């Protein structure tokens, strides 16, 4: 059995006042990162899933180079979305099962801060590796320099939104029947604008329009999600704990 | 009279029962008038021929599909904010009607698109957004079905509806943002309409008819939900006695 950073430490180190939002974010982030790094195999499997999904599309459609370059950005985005979705159920489920989540809700740290920490940890362990791997996989699709830079930038801004929105769905479906597929039904439609603007970035490059508009829209979405998603997700966590 | 009197299921139940015939018959009457204007009086469009007449149903349901989501989010916000029972029930009652309106809008849009654009479906921004709206309705309904506890379902669906309502402005402004195959709005609040007055009249009458139908359907459904959830309460037991509503 692996030893988790105990809940007792949380209660012992938490400040008495409500001013500890940043400390709460840091605590949850460090804890979830530590847990993730102790199950590296699981992280590896998720990345492999991403790589395999991306590699399947040419096999299922065509190895023809021009067509691959056209559909490549979309494939990379959809695969990133699925990889993010795949790891979402774990975000709260194990903490919910062993009662840790309840102790978090009772702790002096604000719950949105703790949830934010978990969201950041989710992005660092699933979103960031996807962004780093994207240029390599882009080569398989013949996506060249400028387009690849734009795609990577879009993924860098867009994948945190997927983690933020996904956390809301993960919290809403805590402990429900058919949690996984229900989670997909709730989260995927909400992610569509991210997908459109993200994959559209490469089209903008090809059309000579420049990437500023798409990246700005993604950035705006990210800012809105950063403000709104932790509040919505922590409200959902409290509903699930009732 | 205190308006909040009707925020309790036991007082709202008879009120809804009294309102249903009014909205139902008005909806039927307006639908007959609207369809008569649309299919009888309105002239044939010189570009689109007779096929354009489906807009009298399409536009009304498309408006309604978006509007119902906003109303659902409004009741969800009330339910979350004030923890009132009836608000959650209203949100629950509106979701299936909203999904139906979205489906009709998509279906009639496809039937209209075939003769006019030459294709049933195009990945145009507004159509895609409407499809996403349908998925959002399905998500709310599915989440509701997955949760056994009614109060938890109310609040969870409330959070989801409020998050989803962000999608409504995207639908509305998508025409300007992406500006693809779908024609721009012909009806606007600020500019003069770009269509014949008789067509506009037919469309508005149909919109009100669909509106009244939706209110009627939601009220009928909320009455069932009230009975189901309040089956243990004393006042529902008295309903089976003769002479009550």
In a domain, B5, yes or no: no
- Classified as helix, coil or strand, A132 is helix
Chain B contact residues (CB < 8 Å to A): 80, 128, 132, 135-136, 138-139, 142-143, 146-147, 151-152, 155-156, 159-160, 162-164, 166-167, 170
ipTM over 0.90: no
Q: Is A188 in CB contact (< 8 Å) with chain B?
A: yes
Q: Reply yes or no on whether the pLDDT at B158 is more than 80.
A: yes
B163–A190 CB contact, under 8 Å: yes
pLDDT 10s digits, B17-74: 899 999 999 999 999 999 998 888 877 776 777 778 888 899 999 999 989 999 999 9
Q: Which domain holds residue B164?
A: 13-233
pLDDT tens-digit series, residues A86-105: 889 888 988 898 888 999 88
Q: Which pLDDT score, from 0 to 100, does residue A3 have?
A: 47
Instruction: Report the chain A residue with the minimal C-alpha distance to residue B154.
Output: A239
Three-state DSSP state, A107: coil
Instruction: Tell me how close the Cα of B198 comes to any Cα of chain A, in angstroms.
Output: 37
Whose CA is closest to B153, among B87, B230, B92?
B92
**Does B131 map to a domain?**
yes
pTM for the predicted model, two decimal places: 0.85
Contact A154/B at CB under 8 A: no
Cα distance between residue B137 and residue B160, in whole Å: 10
Question: DSSP string covering A150-180, please?
Answer: HHHHHHHHHHHHHHHHHHHHHHHTTT-TTHH
Percentage of chain A modeled with pLDDT above 90:
38
**pLDDT for the residue A201:** 84
Please give the pLDDT value at position B182.
47
User: Chain B contact for A182, CB < 8 A?
Assistant: yes
B8: in domain: no
Nearest 5 degrees, angle CA A120-CA B152-CA A185? Answer: 55
Model pLDDT, residue B195: 66
Mutate to test the interface with A, among B166, B172, B174, B178 (most CBs of A within 10 A): B166
Share of chain B above pLDDT 90, in %: 43
Residue B240 lies in a domain: no
Least confident of A140-149, B23-32, B147-156: A140-149
**What percentage of chain A reaches a pLDDT higher than 70?**
92
Does A70 score more than 90 pLDDT?
Answer: no
Asked if residue B116 is part of any domain, the answer here is yes
Per-residue pLDDT, averaged over A163-175, amounts to 92
Residue B74 lies in a domain: yes
Angle between helices B85-117 and B125-146 (to 10 degrees): 150
The whole-number pLDDT of residue A205 equals 82
Instruction: Answer yes or no: is pLDDT of B181 > 70.
Output: no
Please give the pLDDT value at position A161: 93
In this prediction, residues A23-30 reach a mean pLDDT of 91
**Predicted pLDDT at A6:** 53
**Mind spelling out the 3-state secondary structure of chain B?**
CCHHHHHCHHHHHHHHHHHHHHHHHHHHHHHHHHHHHHHHHCCCECCCEHHHHHHHHHHHHHHHHHHHHHHHHHHHHHHHHHCCHHHHHHHHHHHHHHHHHHHHHHHHHHHHHHHHHCCCCCCCHHHHHHHHHHHHHHHHHHHHHHCCCHHHHHHHHHHHHHHHCCHHHHHHHHHHHHCCCCCCCCCCCCCCCCCCHHHHHHHHHHHHHHHHHHHHHHHHHHHHHHHHHCCCCHHHHHCCCCCCC
Mean pLDDT of chain B: 83
Q: Give tens-digit pLDDT for B187-198.
A: 554 555 566 788
Is the Cβ pair B128, A172 closer than 8 Å?
Answer: no
CB contact under 8 A, A177 and B146: yes
A193/B135 Cβ within 8 A: no
Q: What is the mean pLDDT of chain A?
A: 86
Total domains in chain B come to: 1
Mean pLDDT, rounded, for A25-50 = 90
Check pLDDT > 90 for residue A163. Answer: yes
**Residues 27..86 of A with a Cβ closer than 8 Å to B: which?**
none
């Amino acid at each position: 059995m692996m030893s988790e950073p105990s809940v007792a430490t949380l209660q012992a180190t938490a400040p008495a006042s409500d001013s500890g939002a940043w400390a709460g974010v840091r605590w949850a982030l460090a804890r979830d990162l530590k847990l993730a790094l102790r199950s590296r195999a699981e992280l590896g499997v998720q990345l492999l899933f991403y790589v395999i999904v991306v590699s399947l599309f040419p096999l299922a459609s065509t190895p023809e180079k021009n067509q691959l370059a056209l559909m490549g950005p979309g494939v990379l985005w959809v695969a990133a979305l699925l990889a993010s979705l795949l790891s979402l159920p774990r975000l709260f489920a194990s903490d919910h099962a062993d009662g840790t989540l309840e102790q978090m809700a009772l702790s002096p740290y604000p719950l949105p801060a703790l949830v934010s920490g978990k969201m950041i940890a989710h992005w660092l362990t699933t979103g960031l590796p996807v962004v780093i791997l994207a240029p390599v996989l882009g080569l398989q699709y013949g996506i060249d320099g400028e387009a690849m830079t734009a795609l990577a930038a879009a993924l860098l801004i867009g994948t945190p939104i997927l983690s933020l929105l996904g956390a809301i769905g993960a919290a809403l479906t805590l402990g429900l029947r058919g949690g996984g597929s229900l989670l997909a039904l709730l989260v995927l439609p909400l992610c569509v604008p991210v997908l459109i603007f993200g994959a559209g970035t490469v089209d903008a490059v090809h059309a000579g329009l420049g990437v500023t508009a798409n990246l700005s829209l993604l950035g705006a979405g990210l800012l809105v999600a950063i403000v709104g998603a932790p509040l919505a997700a922590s409200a959902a966590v409290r509903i699930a704990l009732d | 009279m205190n308006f909040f009197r009707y925020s309790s299921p036991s007082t709202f139940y008879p009120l809804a029962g009294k309102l249903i015939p009014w909205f139902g018959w008005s909806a039927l009457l307006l639908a007959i008038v609207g369809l008569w204007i649309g299919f009888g009086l309105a002239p044939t469009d010189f570009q689109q021929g007779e096929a354009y007449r489906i807009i009298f149903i399409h536009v009304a349901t498309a408006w309604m599909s978006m509007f119902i989501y906003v109303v659902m989010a409004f009741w969800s916000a009330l339910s979350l904010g004030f923890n009132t029972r009836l608000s959650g029930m209203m949100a629950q009652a509106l979701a299936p009607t909203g999904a139906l309106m979205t489906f009709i809008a998509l279906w009639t849009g496809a039937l209209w698109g075939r003769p006019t654009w030459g294709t049933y479906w195009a990945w145009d921004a507004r159509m895609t957004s409407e499809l996403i709206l349908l998925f959002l309705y399905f998500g709310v309904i599915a989440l509701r079905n997955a949760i056994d506890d009614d109060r938890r379902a109310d609040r969870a669906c409330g959070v989801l509806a409020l998050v989803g309502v962000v999608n409504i402005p995207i639908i509305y402004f998508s025409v300007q943002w992406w500006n693809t195959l779908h024609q721009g709005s012909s009806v606007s609040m600020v500019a003069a309409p770009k269509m014949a007055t008789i067509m506009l009249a037919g469309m508005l009458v149909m919109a009100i008819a669909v509106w009244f139908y939706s209110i009627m359907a939601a009220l009928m459904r909320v009455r069932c939900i009230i009975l189901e959830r309040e089956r243990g309460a004393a006042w529902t037991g008295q309903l089976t006695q003769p002479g009550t509503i």
